[in-house]
Amino acid sequence: MPKSAYEIDQQSESVERYIVVAWVDNEAGVLARIAGLFSGRGYNIESLAVAQVDDERNISRITIATNGTKQVVDQINAQLLKLIPVHKVATYPIDDTSIFRELALIKFVAESDTLKKAEQLCIDLNSIILDKTPKSFIAQYLGTRREVDSFIKTIKPLGAISISRSGALAMKKGPETVKDNKGKVL
Amino acid sequence: MIYKKKLALTYLKLDPIQTSVKFNLREKMTNQLTGAEIVFKALEEHGVEYIFGYPGGAVLPMYDQISKQKKIKHILVRHEQGAGHAAEGYARSSGKPGIILVTSGPGATNTVTALTDAYMDSVPLVCITGQVPTHLIGTDAFQECDTTGITRPCTKHNWLIKDVNKIAETVHKAFHIATTGRPGPVLIDIPKDIQFQKGVYKSSKEIEIDNKKKIINSDLTNIEKAVEMIVKSSKPIFYTGGGVINSGPEASKALRELVKLSGFPVTSTLQGLGAIPGDDHQFLGMLGMHGTYEANNAMHDCDLLINIGARFDDRITGRVDAFSPNSKKIHIDIDPSSINKIVKTDLSIVGDSLTVISEMITILKTKYSNFNSSNKEKISAWWSQIETWRKKKSLSYKKDKKLIMPQQAVERLYELTKKQDTFITTEVGQHQMWAAQFYKFKEPNRWMTSGGLGTMGYGLPAAIGVQLAHPKKLVVDIAGEASILMNIQELSTAVQYRLPIKIFILNNQWMGMVRQWQELLHEKNYSESYTEALPDFVKLAEAYGAVGIRATNPNELDGKIEEMMKINKPVIFDCVVKKDENCFPMIPSGKPHNEMILGPDDEEEISEEGKVLV
């Protein structure tokens, strides 16, 4: 049981994974502001994806996978909106109302027999071969976090020696887009 | 100097050619100014009167400007932290932003405490720091530090300027961000080469400031719902905070009207003191850890809690899961992130206190015109309950014949100064709580104290800022002997600018609040909380060119306070008080509002869990 604000009870609410998306001015230090907010207030960054999405207005879209209770995620939302370069923020619970994608690149180095087996398995699992030499190949795999996890688990014993993964990207299904929500209580 | 300038002017008048040359030059200047000139032009445009600062290598071009103009006066502090707190004192007592100008490296890092303090207590500051020249950034140059990196978490926003043509725009934006919404500190870092470069000035009218960053107007239907809840309640309480003060004196007026109209009891946080007159019958005093018995019990037992401009700080709530367990909660705040952060509310309104309170009054008057009369009976049982709590007289203390009680010192100071418009600043500790409990503020902006960060050493520099904003008024820093030594060097600043601030030290030779916690929570293990060697404060005052007064006996207290008030110079009043007095009432860590300790006879065991808490 909590005894003061230092121990707010978070047990009564369950901890869930969320994707938080922030649209920000692409200026110096903006990523540091966001990362600093997360570390300073004790929030978790599970993965991160950042890129400019609007060249004219200089807007970057930052996608952060995090976990916390509903209250914590609402607080993340409100704190992000307070940052000056942040234009709008959206949170996506991990459910089937949104699309989630992560990308993985995997390099295989093995004897030709194992390599062949690995290549076939990769193709069977819907990954694309991007580079090939007699001793190695690189496969690209696209899917949800869970799919990428299980893909890596399956192919790892077959000579996968280098794995690179992107942060998650997310987008709401249907025609809706995220509206400007600066200054509103969410 | 003046004589020489006059000569030059006459010379100009006599020589038309010379005049036209000067004129052309000046015309050119209006298009192309140096970075430092642009900074000062922008500050002038925002009506800045005072800059609190300290020169150094990386800001010298800007210090050139200080002597070249007359509109802005520079106050030379003795340590950059002092500049920050002085700017805070100026801002909080005047409602205008405080300006700081310091050099790179140590100049910037020394302001960090003040910036964090201002960030926690929502004080508008604009801090301008010099930086090493652009080509040296990142090379570990002399007096280089990552100022924007260091101050990122303790400012509302900050900028490192790399283009002279962005200076004007940035300064205008800085003022806008510091003063709108929930106010706070901002910082502009300007490399020395940019201060020298020439660029174009733009006025604030030419700058587009993003409107969507303003708080969206408060939701009227929610205000109507709030009023409905107010009308229905039978055990209501207003819990008001610094948001009302920050909203301007008009907000306090509106709050007084709302409180009168409703007949409801009202309690205030440390930062909200003064919004309601301290001697008003409906005012229950401060709430929280050292709040009154009636305020805390009313918070615990109420059926409707109306929070206006406060943030459910842990000094207020005590044990969160036992905080006001049976009430509906309305939270009015300008900062959306304050809502549902600590205490879940039933109804939230994002907006400026003044706007929301005025709207509430209008709705009450038009929709519920007989509310005032019908309401009295409904809440009469609640008031009689509150009166029984009041009878406990939780702020009472035992007087001593030979020793001055610290509470008594503050009480006498209040009685003797209440007739004049007095401004009080404090340091941090027991004296701060006694000041909050015993000094009854009649108006807002008269009380400057470090609440959120709890910065020892705040009060003296803050008093300097307050005195500059209110030159003819009485300004008293109620201090402790430990806190005052943290920024004592600023006494020299007060002497230099002839600021007749009064430093009223409750001297018990202990870090009183630390000693109190050690007594109550650490088995009386008084580890390092006693100061073995203290300066003679009377001689110290004299060494600085101020006046020193010492009182040790209750009989001489009044006379010496009166003597202090008559002196038109900075004064240190060394008030030697009882050494081991504790600050009561107190909610011990880990306890709810209705389990307060009222005095030394009331102390009980504090649980192991409670000891862990701060």
Looking at residue B19, what is its pLDDT?
Answer: 43
Helices (H), B329-379: 353-367, 371-378
CA distance, residue B610 to nearest chain A CA (Å) = 7
CATH number of B406-583: 3.40.50.970
More confident residue, B500 or B215: B500
Looking at residue A142, what is its pLDDT?
Answer: 97
CATH of A13-93, one of 3.40.50.300, 3.90.1640.10, 3.30.70.260, 3.30.450.20: 3.30.70.260
Looking at residue B14, what is its pLDDT?
Answer: 41
How large is the average pLDDT for residues B42-62? Answer: 98
Residue B611 confidence class, pLDDT cut points 50, 70, 90: low
Share of chain B above pLDDT 70, in %: 92
Share of chain B above pLDDT 90, in %: 86
Residue B213 confidence class, pLDDT cut points 50, 70, 90: very low
Mean pLDDT for all residues in chain B: 92
pLDDT at B50 over 80: yes
CATH fold group of domain B32-213:
Rossmann fold (3.40.50)
Q: Does A4 touch chain B (CB under 8 A)?
A: yes
Looking at residue B6, what is its pLDDT?
Answer: 41
Within chain A, all domains assigned CATH 3.30.70.1150 are found at: 98-169
Q: Which helix (H) or strand (E) holds B157?
A: strand B157-160
Partners of residue A182 in chain B, C-beta under 8 Å? 212-213, 216
Max CA pair span of chain B: 88
Between CA B108 and CA B146 the distance in angstroms is 9
Query: Of the ranges A6-20, A68-82, B110-124, B598-612, which one carries the lowest mean pLDDT score?
Result: B598-612
More confident residue, B48 or B377: B48
Tell me if B56 sits within 8 A of B68, measured CB to CB. no
pLDDT at A4 over 50: no
Q: Using alpha carbons only, how large is chain A's radius of gyration in Å?
A: 20
Q: Using alpha carbons only, how large is chain B's radius of gyration in Å?
A: 26
Helices (H), B16-146: 16-31, 35-45, 60-68, 80-94, 106-110, 112-120
Whether residue B152 and residue A36 make contact (CB cut-off 8 A), yes or no, is: yes
Looking at residue B606, what is its pLDDT?
Answer: 60
Mean pLDDT for all residues in chain A: 90
CATH number of B220-390: 3.40.50.1220
Q: Looking at B513, B564, B586, B596, which residue is catalytic? A: B513
Task: Encode pLDDT of A8-17 as tens digits.
Answer: 454 567 899 9
Between CA B4 and CA B2 the distance in angstroms is 5
ipTM above 0.95, yes or no: no
Looking at residue A10, what is its pLDDT?
Answer: 47
* B291: DSSP letter: -
Indicate if B448 belongs to the active site: no
pLDDT at B424 over 90: yes
Between CA B380 and CA A177 the distance in angstroms is 53
Residue B16 C-alpha from the chain's centroid: 54
Residue B3 confidence class, pLDDT cut points 50, 70, 90: very low
Task: Encode pLDDT of B505-526 as tens digits.
Answer: 999 999 999 999 999 989 999 9
Indicate if B192 belongs to the active site: yes
CA dihedral for B59, B64, B68, B70, sign (positive or negative):
positive
Question: Which pair of tokens denotes residue B425?
Answer: 């600043």
Indicate if B23 belongs to the active site: no
Residue A2 confidence class, pLDDT cut points 50, 70, 90: very low
Looking at residue B4, what is its pLDDT?
Answer: 42
Whether residue A182 and residue B610 make contact (CB cut-off 8 A), yes or no, is: no
**Kind of pairing, strands A86-93 and A16-25?**
antiparallel
Whether residue A5 and residue B314 make contact (CB cut-off 8 A), yes or no, is: yes
Decide whether B32-213 matches B406-583 in CATH topology: yes
Compare all CA atoms of chain B with the CA of A40 and give the residue at the minimum distance.
Answer: B153
Q: Does A182 touch chain B (CB under 8 A)?
A: yes
How large is the average pLDDT for residues B161-188? Answer: 96
Task: Encode pLDDT of B446-477 as tens digits.
Answer: 999 999 999 999 999 999 999 999 999 999 99
pLDDT at B17 over 70: no
Domain ranges of chain B: 1-29, 32-213, 220-390, 406-583
Residue B583 is which amino acid?
A: C
CA distance, residue B4 to nearest chain A CA (Å) = 48
Between CA B115 and CA B128 the distance in angstroms is 12
- Give the residue carrying structure tokens 């887009």: A177
CATH of A98-169, one of 3.90.110.10, 3.30.70.1150, 1.20.1440.80, 3.40.50.720: 3.30.70.1150
Between CA A122 and CA A140 the distance in angstroms is 9
Whether residue B610 and residue A186 make contact (CB cut-off 8 A), yes or no, is: no
**Kind of pairing, strands A86-93 and A59-68?**
unpaired
Q: Does A184 touch chain B (CB under 8 A)?
A: yes
Between CA B505 and CA B502 the distance in angstroms is 9
> In terms of pTM, does the model score above 0.95?
no
DSSP collapsed to 3 states, B202-220: CCHHHCCCCHHHCCCCCCH
Looking at residue B9, what is its pLDDT?
Answer: 40
Question: Which pair of tokens denotes residue B257?
Answer: 């009207």
Whether residue B313 and residue A5 make contact (CB cut-off 8 A), yes or no, is: yes
